[in-house]
Amino acid sequence: MFVPILIKLLADSNFKIAFISLKIIEDILKIPKIKLEVIVPQVMEKLNDSKIALRQNVSKLIRL
């Protein structure tokens, strides 16, 4: 599966790459077979990001 690749891309310093990765992860989480334990630590790290758009999307993702 490509979730590990998305997790690596989420940690990228490029804002657009991290942002799009977060949006893809959001769509993937709508699939019931995906385990949240794999994604949660990396997503939570993005709460410390300096870009407000990333922090907003992480908080939106957490509320799903």
The DSSP result for 10-44, as a single string, is: HT-S-HHHHHHHHHHHHHHTTSTTS-HHHHHHHHH
Q: Look up the pTM and report it.
A: 0.69
pLDDT at residue 16, rounded to an integer: 93
Query: 3-52 pLDDT, tens per residue?
Result: 788 888 888 889 899 899 988 888 887 777 766 676 777 788 888 888 88
How far apart are alpha carbons 47 and 57 in whole angstroms? Answer: 9
- Segments forming the whole domain that contains residue 18: 3-62
Confidence label for 62 from pLDDT (cuts 50, 70 and 90) = confident
pLDDT at residue 29, rounded to an integer: 79
How far apart are alpha carbons 22 and 7 in whole angstroms? Answer: 9
The H or E element containing residue 3 is helix 3-10
Indicate if the alpha-carbon torsion angle 4, 59, 19, 48 is positive or negative.
negative
Q: How many domains does the chain have?
A: 1
